Amino acid sequence: MNKQSKLTLILAAVAVVAGAVAWWHQAGSPDAPVHDYTQVTLQQGSITAVVSATGTLNAVNTVQVGSQVSGSIAQLYADFNEPVKKGQLIAQIDPAVFAAKVA
């Protein structure tokens, strides 16, 4: 082993020992950060989440709604996006137009 290799090996060993001593000293120092933990009792409650975003929404189910006759709506029995059941009356068409055509 030549003189330069020995010197490099000695300097590397000194650097490793110095790093280990510095690490050991830092880990054992009273200035080392102390982690404080808070212990709480679990509670049951509602979680409310608010999402503020932009984008496009697509319906899960799309249904075509229509009638066999046309006319003005006299009375509306369901609101927009309100769930309805099969056979439920949604709207009533004004019968005055049909009564006038018959007469």
User: How, if at all, do strands 73-76 and 91-93 pair?
Assistant: antiparallel
| Token pair for 52 | 């503020």
C-beta of residue 75 within 8 angstroms of C-beta of residue 92: yes
Task: Please indicate, yes or no, if residue 17 is contained in any of the structural domains.
Answer: yes
pTM, to two decimals: 0.34
Task: Please indicate, yes or no, if residue 58 is contained in any of the structural domains.
Answer: no
Task: Please indicate, yes or no, if residue 22 is contained in any of the structural domains.
Answer: yes
Task: Please indicate, yes or no, if residue 65 is contained in any of the structural domains.
Answer: no
Residue 26 is predicted with a pLDDT of: 74
- Residue showing tokens 């000695």: 10
Residue 48 is predicted with a pLDDT of: 86
Q: What is the rounded (10 degree) CA torsion for 80, 82, 86, 92?
A: -40
Task: Please indicate, yes or no, if residue 36 is contained in any of the structural domains.
Answer: no
20: containing domain: 1-29
Task: Please indicate, yes or no, if residue 82 is contained in any of the structural domains.
Answer: yes
Task: Please indicate, yes or no, if residue 56 is contained in any of the structural domains.
Answer: no
Task: Please indicate, yes or no, if residue 97 is contained in any of the structural domains.
Answer: yes
Residue 33 is predicted with a pLDDT of: 66
Question: Which residues of the chain fall below pLDDT 50?
Answer: none
Residue 23 is predicted with a pLDDT of: 83
Domain count, the chain: 2
